[in-house]
Amino acid sequence: MPDQIAGLSELRGDCARCFGLCCVALPFGASSDFALDKPAGKPCPNLQGDHRCGIHTELRTKGFTGCTVYDCFGAGQKVAQVTFGGQDWRTGTKEHARAMFDVFPVVRQLHELLWYLTEALGLPAARPVHAGLRRALAETERLTLLPPGELAGLDVAAHRQEVNVLLLRAGELVRAGAGGKKGKGKDRRGADLMGARLRGADLRGASLRGACLIAADLTGADLRGAEMIGADLRDADLTDADLTGAFFLTQPQVDSARGSAGTRLPTSVRAPVRWAAGG
């Protein structure tokens, strides 16, 4: 899977090549994740003139936890450097800035699909659909390179639906060989498992697609080969859990959870620094 890992590494945000687009284009409301309200198109008050965050090392203590679990999957640098040729939203016209802000969320969705498609192509069990996945990957990449006007009007939902058919099949193929005691993973798609007590649970090969696992206790749980696409892991406890081989797991999901030095993760994601202290 070396090629896929290399491909996934390019689908991570590179703030040095962006113009702080997530800090301007996206809206957020005052909550446990954000300390204040901010409408779309208005720069966050913490954004500095060099497009860097003025409280980056203090985001959690300052009430901006939501920022610490966000990743644009590389869409920021794509929009900044490719779609708009390196022209800053600060120095361009209002129309230029508005177009950039409209395009960024679209490309972010496309780049998230690129992440899943790239990972799926590295799953041997999904080989029967690899040809379709490669075509979908090429088409999704093509869409990210459209001119700003076409990107802004793109029906991303329709494209996502087409890609999802392939990802669903890929997930079924992978989970078929990663089941638990009965040789078949549990189907927990869309399940409401908020706060669930799943300590030490055998969830090998389970489908947790779209499951709500907010604040769930997954301490020591066996999640090997589980499908994690869309699972909400905010404040879930993954202490000493084994997610080896879990797939369609993204960095934002991992960053939103709690874990420990004993938590085992797939190579496509990395453990947050705070996990070393059990946070």
Per-residue model confidence as pLDDT tens digits over 182-230: 445 689 999 999 999 999 999 999 999 999 999 999 999 999 999 999 9
Provide the pLDDT for residue 279: 64
**Is residue 58 scored above 80 in pLDDT?**
yes
Average pLDDT over residues 167-183: 78
- Asked if residue 157 has pLDDT above 70, the reply is yes
Select the more confidently predicted residue: 113 or 178. 113
Q: Per-residue pLDDT tens for 134-143?
A: 999 999 999 9
Res 278 pLDDT > 90:
no
Cβ contact 14:76 at 8 Å: yes
pLDDT at residue 6, rounded to an integer: 54
Q: How confident is the model at residue 3 (pLDDT cuts 50, 70, 90)?
A: low
Cα distances from 78 to residues 12, 15, 154, 178, in angstroms, run: 11, 11, 17, 36
Task: Provide the residue type at 207 as one letter.
Answer: S
pLDDT for residue 180: 47
Separation of alpha carbons 27 and 125, rounded Å:
39
Can you give the three-state secondary structure of the chain, one letter per residue?
CHHHHHHHHCCCCCHHHCCCHHHCCCCECCCCCCCCCECCCCCCCCECCCCCECCHHHCCCCCCHHHHCCCCCCHHHHHHHHHCCCCCCCCCCHHHHHHHHHHHHHHHHHHHHHHHHHHHCCCHHHHHHHHHHHHHHHHHHHHHCCCHHHHHCCCHHHHHHHHHHHHHHHHHHHHHCCCCCCCCCCECCCCECCCCECCCCECCCCECCCCECCCCECCCCECCCCECCCCECCCCECCCCECCCCECCCHHHHHHCECCCCCECCCCCCCCHHHHHCC
Report pLDDT for 256.
96
84 Cβ contact partners less than 8 Å away, ≥ 6 residues apart: 96, 99, 100, 148
Give the predicted TM-score (pTM) of the model: 0.92
